[in-house]
A = this chain, B = another copy of it.
Amino acid sequence: MLPRVRAAVAQLVAGLGAGAGGQPPAEPRGDGYGEGAAGGSFCRPAFLQLTAEELRRAGDRVGRAVQSPRDSRRLPWSTGYAEVINAGKSLHNEDQACCEVVFVERRPSLRGRPSSREGSRELDGGRRGFYFHYWALFDGHAGSGAAVMASRRLHLHICEQLRDLVDVLQDPSPPPICLPHNPRAGPAELSRVPLAEDDGEVPNDAAPRFHLEKAVSHESLVIGAIENAFKYMDNQIEQERASQHLSGGCCALAAIYLMGKFYVANAGDSRAIIIRNGEIIPMSREFTPETERQRLQFLAFLRPELLGKEFTHLEFPRRIQPKELGKKMLYRDQNMNGWAYKKVEEDDLKFPLIYGEGKKARVMATIGVTRGLGDHDLKVFSSNIHIKPFLSCFPEVRVYDLTQYEHCPDDVLVLGTDGLWDVTNDKEVASVVMEVLTSYEPNDPCRYTMVAQELVVRSRGVLKERGWRMANNKLGSGDDISVFVIPLGGPGNYT
């Protein structure tokens, strides 16, 4: 069980069937982005529409050429995008990206009668629903299968979860707590069940008659839909990993623009920030063995069998040697943020569940991120100890209300994989954004692509005798790097 050992690098995905079974994805719809790649093997994001020659060049880990959509393939809102492959860390670029405009169509009333609920919109010749805009980055590890599949499917799962909410979200009154159990009922039959105080029926005499009803916002329904979409995405990867030869896992960062608000969902160590009038607004936080230490220790404490007798849930500042039995050693358990001394016992000689600092921190000496999709077969090296129970597929969703602020064309939402953030901090990203944007006309649609490219180039550095070096001569990122730059106040937004 060597620290530098990761789970074996997986076989590349041979075929990822379109419209595969399992959790049923909605039919592909929207503007045509991404359709071309469905069912293919490993590839780059569909919206890049790379030719065979371009694909070869994008995969060159020596030249590390930066890729962006060409002008004719402009993304919605003139979004900027750029990516570069790693410097040899893995065979392929294990980052993936997706950008879509998705129509959420109300689930048809099977009774066949047209519904006419107040507040709902009719679009596209009678189809009722709404659009959302979607941008997402997936940072794969131990194989590219999970990232490729997630980049092709996650937005469809989100769409699927939102379909039940088409009527509810378009109705300004508070969402109903309870829906009728007949799925074929039209929306006019949505029952708002009377409160307990209006109703004499209680389960039994001993039960209380509560007069409470918690207010649930429209926003929290969208958050719940996104959270469950991540869960179903993870389930789909689990179910199809054998038949599709999927392997590995991925971090996922998605930005959804819906009805005036951005929902930024993050599971892993990618990051999103908004830069508004020069100010930095964090839109995500990273989920790593260090930031999630207490959740993991708590789980291991309650379910010690998950540690397979090889690990201890306690944290120590370094490995303990057998000759230190009986001495007093610093430790912390799941309840503590500080450190204290304890007498070293036999059990403390096991390897700690969480070990290492910063980028080197690992769960069971194996994985450096604690949320994401996939990894269902990930085990501790040469053991039968599964790591998936410690990983969460649930994102944290942060909401940004675009209507609460007047945005100018220089205000942007930046999404980046850790290849960017490992070497370029928030402030540096903000200053690159401002620097590049001021050198282009405010209405030049290329300016956001220029920012994305500059961020990638700056973080990659240039190849010198002693490796890839940034302007300050520090080592650039040898990792895959992917960046979206989404304008918040550009022309043509919010359509």
Contact = CB atoms under 8 A, between A and B. Distances in A.
A322 interface: yes
A321 B199 contact: yes
B216 A328 contact: no
Contact of A214 (B3, B207, B228, B317): B317
A104 interface: no
A396 interface: yes
A330 B193 CA distance: 12
Interface in A333-365: 335-341, 343-344, 349, 351, 355-357, 360, 365
B338 A225 contact: yes
B340 A228 contact: yes
A303 interface: yes
Interface in A251-306: 295, 298-299, 302-303
Contact of A193 (B180, B208, B210, B324): B324
A321 B227 contact: no
Nearest to A321: B201
A36 interface: no
Interface stretch (A144-152, A171-179, A435-443): A171-179
B343 A181 contact: yes
A133 to B, nearest CB: 19
Nearest to A210: B319
Given A178-B329, A224-B338, A340-B227, A207 B1 contact: yes
Count of identical protomers in the assembly: 2
Of the listed residues A220, A349, A360, A396, the one surrounded by the most CB atoms of chain B closer than 10 A to its CB is A220
Contacts of A84: none
Nearest to A322: B203
B201 A323 contact: yes
Contacts of A355: 210, 212
A2 interface: yes
Query: Which of A227, A299, A303, A338 has the most B CB atoms < 10 Å from its CB?
Result: A338
A405 to B, nearest CB: 23
B318 A227 contact: no
A154 interface: no
Contacts of A338: 220-227, 397
A210 B337 contact: no
A19 interface: no
A318 B3 contact: no
A365 B209 CA distance: 12
A213 interface: yes
A332 interface: yes
B340 A3 contact: no
B220 A337 contact: yes
A202 interface: yes
Contacts of A177: 317-318, 329-330
Nearest to A219: B338
A326 interface: yes
Given A321-B203, A330-B175, A356 B181 contact: no
Contact of A224 (B203, B332, B351): B332
A195 B320 CA distance: 10
Nearest to A216: B339
B318 A213 contact: yes
A203 B328 CA distance: 18
A68 to B, nearest CB: 34
A210 B114 CA distance: 68
B3 A394 contact: no
A3 B2 CA distance: 55
A327 B225 contact: no
Contact of A327 (B3, B180, B208): B180
Interface of A: 1-3, 161, 164, 175, 177-181, 191, 193, 195-196, 199, 201-203, 206-208, 210, 212-216, 220-228, 231, 295, 298-299, 302-303, 317-319, 321-324, 326-330, 332, 335-341, 343-344, 349, 351, 355-357, 360, 365, 392, 394, 396-397
Given A178-B328, A221-B339, A223-B337, 18 more contacts: A1-B207, A177-B329, A180-B327, A181-B328, A181-B344, A193-B321, A201-B323, A202-B319, A203-B322, A210-B355, A214-B317, A214-B318, A216-B339, A224-B336, A227-B336, A231-B335, A295-B298, A338-B397
